């Protein structure tokens, strides 16, 4: 079993911002993120693709907007969005603006959300307008209205409620926004925070996330012609390390489902592109029953275990490998290959 927890010394100061900067300089038009084609059913926004330069431009424009709120450096940016383009843009923008991204689960209740706002100190909120039956931007707005800490609430999507800054037009086409001012803290030192609906807080240094992504890249051998398809829904160390960090590090295309859909999962496997599929271990039986675990395009199946697993089945016959990722304690991962 290979541990993935120790940061490598040469990764100090390297994080998402550095990865995107290198990608923009070397492959600006390469698609880094693609979303499911039928995403509009649950989000109101059609699935799209983002190049490295498109991701960088949108994050910098949002960072400029956040900087206008004149928050103290290392203030919190509360982000309520599914895994996908909005969440990644919001994380990058917060880091550019010198804020600390705090990723909230979509299951967070009103009382818990209010407590997070009240405890955050001066902060901003960033959310999507719709995710299934939920209205995250409305949830953030209502919590902000009852808190003296909120300076700004922004929303992605077409149905942003009153009192929330509509971001889509601003970050896509507003070229008049000035660049966000340079922050005092060195790149890669702010880190991220993930909250759960039960109040558990996970603090993630970017060096730890990078170290895990490097180890996963070595094990999976995913490359620039591959696809990273993630079904991980809740923000956290494993979801980030095996998602956007691994994709930007390896150059693979990142396809997050946002909300789970079997048809979207099949569509992500249908074009013959070699795929590394990341999924919770709890749905392994369903993936086997559907014929996905042994699909010809799945080069690596990464199954994430948050509890000690029982006896693991042998992998299905097929061209790919089954890799079990075991989550232990604070930001500690270990990986083993299934026989």
The structural domains of the chain, ordered by start, are: 52-203 (3.40.50.980), 206-337 (3.40.50.980)
Q: How far apart are CA 100 and CA 73, in angstroms?
A: 8
Q: Is the pLDDT assigned to residue 101 strictly greater than 70?
A: yes
pLDDT given for residue 68 in this prediction: 87
Mean predicted lDDT score pLDDT of the chain:
86
Contact in structure between 125 and 150 (CB atoms under 8 Å): yes
User: In terms of C-beta density within 10 A (0-12 exposed, 13-18 middle, 19 or more buried), how is residue 113 classed?
Assistant: buried
Output 329 or 4, whichever has higher pLDDT: 329
Residues near 178 by beta carbon (within 8 Å), at least 6 away in sequence: 64
What is the share, in percent, of the chain residues with pLDDT greater than 70? Answer: 88
Q: In this structure, what token pair is assigned to residue 321?
A: 């490998």
Q: Which of 96, 87, 90 is nearest to 179 (CA)?
A: 96
Question: For position 180, what pLDDT does the model report?
Answer: 67
CA distance 95 to 16: 9
Q: What is the pLDDT of residues 137-164, one digit of tens each?
A: 999 999 999 988 889 999 999 889 999 9
pLDDT at 318: 59
Q: Out of 68-72, 301-305, 309-313, which region has the weakest mean confidence (pLDDT)?
A: 309-313
Q: Per-residue pLDDT averaged across 210-228, rounded?
A: 92
| pLDDT above 50 for 238 | yes
The burial of 26, by beta-carbon neighbours within 10 Å (0-12 exposed, 13-18 middle, 19 or more buried), is given as exposed
Q: Residues 12-46: pLDDT tens digits?
A: 667 899 999 999 999 999 999 999 888 888 888 88
pLDDT at 7 (0 to 100)? 44
Helix (H, G, I), strand (E, B) or coil at 145: helix
- Triad 99, 100, 103: Cα angle to 5°: 130
* pLDDT in the model for residue 110: 81
Alpha carbon distance 157, 166 (integer Å): 7
pLDDT given at position 185 = 54
Q: Is 172 exposed, middle or buried (0-12, 13-18, 19+ CB in 10 A)?
A: exposed
Predicted confidence (pLDDT) at residue 310 exceeds the cutoff of 70: no
The pLDDT score that the predictor gives to residue 6 is 47
Helices 85-96/16-26 angle, 10° precision: 100
Taking the alpha carbons at both ends of the chain, their separation in whole angstroms is 13
pLDDT band at 212 (very low <50, low <70, confident <90, very high): very high
Residue 290 scores a pLDDT above 70: yes
pTM score above 0.85: yes
Model confidence at 52, pLDDT cuts 50, 70, 90, reads very high
């Amino acid at each position: 079993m290979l541990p993935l927890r120790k940061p490598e010394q040469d990764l100090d100061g390297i994080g998402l911002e550095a990865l995107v900067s290198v990608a923009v300089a070397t492959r600006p038009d390469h698609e880094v993120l693609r979303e499911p084609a039928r995403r509009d059913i649950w989000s109101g926004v059609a699935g799209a693709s983002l190049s490295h330069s498109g991701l960088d431009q949108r994050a910098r424009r949002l960072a400029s907007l956040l900087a206008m709120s004149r928050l103290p450096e290392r203030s919190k940016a509360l982000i309520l969005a599914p895994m996908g383009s909005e969440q990644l843009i919001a994380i990058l923008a917060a880091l550019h603006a010198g804020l600390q991204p705090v990723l909230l689960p979509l299951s967070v209740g009103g009382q818990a959300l209010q407590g997070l706002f009240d405890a955050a100190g001066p902060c901003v909120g960033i959310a999507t307008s719709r995710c299934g039956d939920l209205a995250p931007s409305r949830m953030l707005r209502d919590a902000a209205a009852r808190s003296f800490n909120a300076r700004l609430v922004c929303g992605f999507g077409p149905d942003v409620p009153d009192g929330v800054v509509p971001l889509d037009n601003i970050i896509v086409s507003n070229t008049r926004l000035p660049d966000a001012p340079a922050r005092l803290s060195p790149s890669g030192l702010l880190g991220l925070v993930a909250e759960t609906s039960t109040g558990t807080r996970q603090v993630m240094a970017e060096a730890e996330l990078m170290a895990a992504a490097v180890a996963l890249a070595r094990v999976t051998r995913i490359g620039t012609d591959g696809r990273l398809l993630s079904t991980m829904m809740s923000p956290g160390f494993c979801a980030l390390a095996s998602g956007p960090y691994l994709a930007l590090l390896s150059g693979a295309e990142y396809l997050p489902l946002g909300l789970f859909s079997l048809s979207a999962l099949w569509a992500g496997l249908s074009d013959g592109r070699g795929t590394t599929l990341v999924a919770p271990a709890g749905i392994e039986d369903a993936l086997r029953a559907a014929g996905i675990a042994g699909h010809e395009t799945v080069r690596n199946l990464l199954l994430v275990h948050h509890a000690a697993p029982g006896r693991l089945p042998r992998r299905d016959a097929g061209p790919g490998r089954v890799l079990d990722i075991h989550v232990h304690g604070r930001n500690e991962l270990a990986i083993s290959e299934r026989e």
